[in-house]
Each structure stands twice: as structure tokens, then as C-alpha cells.
């Protein structure tokens, strides 16, 4: 008699972390999915077993905000190096931004990026499409081409993609809403920043803090408020990227209370860095929105705790050392790598901030999966879900070292920072992409685009009798 076919992998001895509980249990993986969770004696026979004693088993992080620069700026990053960084950071899914060259603003550019990502990605991914003044009529083609959502830039940042007028933004929301896709917003108001930057330059300011002076909180508060109004009117689903200030929390919380489908993220640099770091870091700290005064950190943590902010993302924005060290701050490229260091940084600071590893799993995996319609397949250690796992050692310490990053961008404000709590193994759909802290060779091309499993709830358009299509009769004619 032959027994049942063995499963591919059983992980024994770990502590499985859910958003609401930690459970000591073994876990079996078959064909890339979690096949069983339970006591060791209940586990099926396995081709391979892993002793995870002393480790916590987390759902791999879902980083909904990375810039992998490929195509167009592969001297900064490409899909191979970017997803190597993700794998070594315990990140099993990334959503890539469209400010590449060409921008992901048409079906051809989207198809080209899909081909590159499919060949090189080591972790799963979603691709964002650019939503701008001139691309509204391409929304159906972009959705058909396979995207996770749209990105709309209310303010200029790296890549200098044009920012739409409020009129175009309203129409863009009207058109995207029925598709069910979420629109992620770079919520900084372009005209305020442009005017202030011009005045600062004219006054001879080129020092690092001039960057912060050009983009005070009101830049973000005005943009978040305006976006929330348009989302409320149209029924659009929106996501506020990189929340940097306490002042943005009020329009965000108020919109949530009114029933707007609005979500928000913050990033480690807004939680751990402050205006006091500009002198130490110089241009390296330049990022949009800017790192702000330390007084913002407490409210951002509180907003994570009470759910006003839904999740942690990184805005992984790699550049080279020469691009980050120009003497004039306004000539420095904005951003720095983060996908690889988010998990250690966050794990280090949970206890001091009275947060738990369960909270972390909610912010890093469960909420992103729910918000983009990837649950129940992603974002949880659950029977039937993809075996996307980060096995972390909460006692393991390390000094972050830019030179050791997988990212092609070896320059960040995190260099020299001590962390405690490291991902040791990362699995994507049951396959190790990092093992014992080493990148697993041959995993390029293992990553898959997630648009095929994305299941967003039914769209809820509002004020449909007043849309641009309705008033011009375009809806009736088409
Ligand atoms: O600092 C930033 N860099 N902020 C952004 O929004 C874009 C990013 C980039 O692409 O470099
Ligand atoms: Zn970004």
C-alpha cells in the first residue's frame, strides 16, 4: 500500500502570527499553498521539513508602494535587484509605480513592463498605471492590460509626470470608479510647492531644510482634503500614499467617518526620522513628501493604532550616490531605498511604541491584501492561502549597512542604524526566495502579476447623472 503523496514542505516549531492572535503550530505547504496548520502530529509527511524553532511565521509583507525604475532608469534599480531587495526584506508582494520611461500610461508601455517583470521578478507584484490629464480615455485599455490600480500625481516628483487639474481629476475619478480599481494619490498640491520653491531659490536657499520649507504640511492637507471631496462625490476608491504629517489625519479621518472609500499609508521614514536628521543626512534625506518635525511621529503612530492609517509601505525610491549628494538640495533626486529595511526597522520599534507583532501583520500584510482585493489568497497565514511567508527572528540584531543592500541604490538615511528583528527566510508561493538571510539564486521570474486574482468589491459610483459622460451624452452614445 502506498500512503498519500507527501506535501512539499512542513514548517515545525514556529509561532504563527495573525492580526489577532499568535499560535504555536506547524504548517504544511503543497503546490504553493498552505495545506494544513496544526499540531506536529497532524502534519502530513513532507518532502522537506524546516525547523522554525525560535522564529515567528508572518505573512510576507505586501509593499504597495515601490519604484523599481525598470524600464528607463535601470542604473538606479531593475526588477531583478528590486525584487531581490524585497525578498531579503521579507516582502513577498510589491506594487510598482508607473513613473518609469516610458511611463505606464498606455497599453503598450504596460505590456512592456509586464514582460520585464515576468522575466525578472522574484516576488509577486502588481503594476500601477498612470492616471493623468491626457490618459483618461485609456482607462479601459489599461484595466484590460492587467493593473493593480491607478496612480495619480497631484504634485510633481521624480520623473516630472504632469499633474492634472482638479477638473481633469474629477473626470478621471468618474471614469475609474465603475472599474472598481483603487486610485493611489501622491497628495501634494503642485502649485503651492512650485511657488514656494521658486521663492526659496530666488532667495538663495539650497540647503537641505529648504526642501522642507517648500513643502509644509498645508501642501498635503489641501491635497488630501480635495481628493476626499472628489472621491465622496464620485464614489471613487482612493488611497493616500505616504502620509507624512499629523495635520493630514483630520481630513483623512473625517472622510472615513463620512463613508468615503479612502485608505492611507505611512512609511518608516516618517515614523523614525525627523527634521533633526537633515543636517546628518544632507541630500540623502530628500524625499517627497519631506520628512517633517519630530512632533508628527506620535500622531502617526496613534493613527496606525486606531486605524486612521491602514498600512505601512516604503516608497522604495532608489537613486545613485552622485544623484543624492549634489550640493543644491533642489538638484538632488528625491527618495531612497526602503523595501529591504522596512521589516527590521518596524520590528525594532514595535515594543517602544506599544504596538505588537499582530499590529504589524495587520499593517504590513492583512490590510494591504484586503484593500486591493487580494484576500483571502494573500496577506494571511491561513489554510488555502498562498504560502507567502516571512520567518523572522525577533532577537537577531544587525547594523544596517548600505553597502550590503540588494538594491542597486546603496545610499540611504538608514546606514549605521541598529535593528533588532530580522527576516531569516522568505517564501513566495511555497518557494524560498531568501534562505538563512541569503538570496536564493535562480528565483528570477518566479514572481507573478496579481491582477488576475484581484477581486474588488462591486463599484459604487455616485452622482452618475452629473458625470462628464452623462452631460455630454457620451454615455448614451457609447
Ligand atoms: O521622493 C520621492 N521619490 N517621492 C515620490 O513620490 C517619487 C519617488 C521617486 O520616484 O523617486
Ligand atoms: Zn512614490
Express each pLDDT in 173-215 by its tens digit: 999 999 999 999 999 999 999 999 999 999 999 999 999 999 9
pLDDT confidence tier of residue 477, bands split at 50, 70 and 90: low
Rounded CA separation 159/191 (Å)? 17
Strands 15-17 and 56-59: parallel
Instruction: For the chain, give the mean pLDDT.
Output: 97
Instruction: Say if ligand 1 is within 6 A of residue 67 CB.
Output: yes
Strand partners, 311: 265
Q: What is the pLDDT of residue 3?
A: 67
Q: What is the pLDDT of residue 130?
A: 98
Rounded CA separation 121/126 (Å)? 11
| Residue to mutate, 64, 65, 67, ligand 1, most ligand atoms under 8 Å from C-beta | 67
Mean pLDDT of 322-346: 98
pLDDT confidence tier of residue 244, bands split at 50, 70 and 90: very high
Instruction: Say if ligand 1 is within 6 A of residue 348 CB.
Output: no
Strands 15-17 and 182-186: unpaired
Rounded CA separation 214/290 (Å)? 9
Rounded CA separation 424/395 (Å)? 11
Rounded CA separation 102/99 (Å)? 8
Q: What is the pLDDT of residue 474?
A: 74
**pLDDT tops 60 at residue 391:** yes
Please give the grid coordinates belonging to residue 270: 516618517
Q: What is the pLDDT of residue 339?
A: 98
Atom of ligand 1 nearest to the CA of 69: 10
Residues 240 and 227: beta-carbon distance below 8 Å: yes
Q: What is the pLDDT of residue 76?
A: 98
Distance from the alpha carbon of residue 314 to the mean position of ligand 2, in angstroms: 8
Q: Where are the beta strands (DSSP E) in 131-257?
A: 149-153, 182-186, 237-240
Helix (H, G, I), strand (E, B) or coil at 57: strand
What are the chain's domains? Answer: 7-54 (2.30.40.10), 60-375+395-416+445-452 (3.20.20.140)
Distance from the alpha carbon of residue 466 to the mean position of ligand 2, in angstroms: 32
Residues 46 and 10: beta-carbon distance below 8 Å: yes
| % of the chain residues with pLDDT over 90 | 97
Please give the grid coordinates belonging to residue 197: 520653491
Question: In this structure, is the dihedral angle defined by the CA atoms of residues 427, 431, 436 and 440, taken in order, positive or negative?
Answer: negative
Distance from the alpha carbon of residue 66 to the mean position of ligand 1, in angstroms: 9
Express each pLDDT in 395-425 by its tens digit: 999 999 999 999 999 999 999 999 999 999 9
Distance from the alpha carbon of residue 226 to the mean position of ligand 1, in angstroms: 21
Rounded CA separation 266/310 (Å)? 8
**What separation in angstroms does the CA of 203 have from each of 197, 200, 207, 211?**
10, 5, 11, 13
pTM: 0.98
Q: What is the pLDDT of residue 2?
A: 59
Question: Measuring CA to CA, which residue among 64, 68, 83, 92 is closest to residue 149?
Answer: 64
Residue 39 CB neighbours (<10 A): 9
Q: Which residues contact 153 (CB under 8 A, 6 or more apart)?
A: 99, 130, 132, 161, 162, 163, 186
Residues 56 and 13: beta-carbon distance below 8 Å: no
Question: Measuring CA to CA, which residue among 78, 66, 74, 148 is closest to residue 119?
Answer: 78
In 3-state terms the chain splits into helix, strand, coil percentages (rounded to 5) of 35, 20, 40
Strand partners, 298: none
Residues 423, 427, 428, 431: what is their CA dihedral angle, to the nearest 10 degrees?
150
Instruction: Say if ligand 1 is within 6 A of residue 157 CB.
Output: yes
- Distance from chain centroid for Cα 364: 9
Question: What is the spatial order of strands in the sheet that 56-59 belongs to?
Answer: 22-24, 15-17, 56-59, 389-399, 418-428, 431-435, 438-439
Amino acid at each position: 500500500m502506498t500512503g498519500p503523496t507527501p506535501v512539499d514542505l512542513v514548517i515545525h516549531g514556529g509561532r504563527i502570527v495573525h492580526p489577532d492572535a499568535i499560535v504555536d503550530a506547524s504548517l504544511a505547504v503543497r503546490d504553493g499553498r498552505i495545506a494544513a496548520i496544526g499540531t506536529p502530529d497532524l502534519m502530513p509527511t513532507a518532502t522537506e521539513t524546516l525547523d522554525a524553532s525560535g522564529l515567528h511565521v508572518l505573512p510576507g509583507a505586501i509593499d504597495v508602494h515601490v519604484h523599481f525604475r525598470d524600464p528607463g532608469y535601470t542604473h538606479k534599480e531593475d526588477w531583478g535587484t528590486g525584487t531581490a531587495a524585497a525578498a531579503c526584506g521579507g516582502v513577498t508582494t510589491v506594487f510598482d509605480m508607473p513613473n518609469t520611461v516610458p511611463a505606464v500610461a498606455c497599453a503598450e508601455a504596460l505590456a512592456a513592463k509586464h514582460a520585464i517583470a515576468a522575466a525578472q521578478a522574484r516576488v509577486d507584484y502588481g503594476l500601477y498605471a498612470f492616471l493623468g490629464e491626457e490618459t483618461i480615455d485609456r482607462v479601459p485599455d489599461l484595466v484590460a492590460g492587467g493593473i493593480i490600480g491607478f496612480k495619480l500625481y497631484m504634485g510633481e516628483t521624480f520623473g516630472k509626470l504632469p499633474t492634472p487639474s482638479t477638473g481633469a481629476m474629477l473626470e478621471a475619478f468618474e471614469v475609474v470608479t465603475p472599474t472598481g480599481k483603487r486610485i493611489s494619490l501622491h497628495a501634494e498640491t503642485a502649485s503651492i510647492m512650485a511657488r514656494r520653491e521658486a521663492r526659496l531659490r530666488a532667495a538663495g536657499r539650497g540647503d537641505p531644510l529648504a526642501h522642507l520649507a517648500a513643502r509644509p504640511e498645508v501642501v498635503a492637507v489641501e491635497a488630501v482634503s480635495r481628493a476626499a471631496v472628489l472621491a465622496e462625490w464620485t464614489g471613487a476608491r482612493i488611497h493616500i500614499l505616504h502620509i507624512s504629517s499629523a495635520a493630514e489625519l483630520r481630513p483623512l479621518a473625517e472622510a472615513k467617518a463620512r463613508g468615503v472609500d479612502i485608505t492611507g499609508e505611512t512609511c518608516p521614514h516618517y515614523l523614525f526620522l525627523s527634521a533633526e536628521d537633515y543636517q546628518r543626512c544632507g541630500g540623502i534625506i530628500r524625499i517627497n513628501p519631506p520628512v517633517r518635525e519630530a512632533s508628527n511621529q506620535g500622531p502617526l503612530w496613534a493613527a496606525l493604532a486606531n486605524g486612521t492609517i491602514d498600512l505601512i509601505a516604503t516608497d522604495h525610491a532608489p537613486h545613485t550616490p552622485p544623484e543624492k549628494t549634489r550640493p543644491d538640495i533642489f538638484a538632488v533626486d528625491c527618495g531612497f531605498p526602503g523595501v529591504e529595511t522596512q521589516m527590521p526597522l518596524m520590528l525594532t520599534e514595535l515594543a517602544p511604541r506599544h504596538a505588537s507583532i499582530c499590529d504589524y501583520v495587520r499593517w504590513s500584510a492583512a490590510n494591504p491584501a484586503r484593500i486591493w482585493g487580494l484576500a483571502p489568497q494573500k496577506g494571511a497565514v491561513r489554510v488555502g492561502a498562498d504560502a507567502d511567508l516571512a520567518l523572522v527572528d525577533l532577537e537577531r540584531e544587525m547594523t544596517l549597512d548600505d553597502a550590503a543592500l540588494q538594491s542597486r541604490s546603496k545610499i540611504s538615511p538608514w546606514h549605521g542604524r541598529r535593528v533588532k528583528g530580522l527576516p531569516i527566510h522568505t517564501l513566495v508561493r511555497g518557494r524560498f526566495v531568501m534562505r538563512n538571510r541569503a538570496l536564493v539564486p535562480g528565483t528570477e521570474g518566479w514572481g507573478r502579476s496579481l491582477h488576475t486574482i484581484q477581486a474588488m468589491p462591486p463599484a459604487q459610483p455616485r452622482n452618475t447623472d452629473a458625470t462628464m459622460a452623462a452631460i455630454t451624452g457620451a454615455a448614451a452614445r457609447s
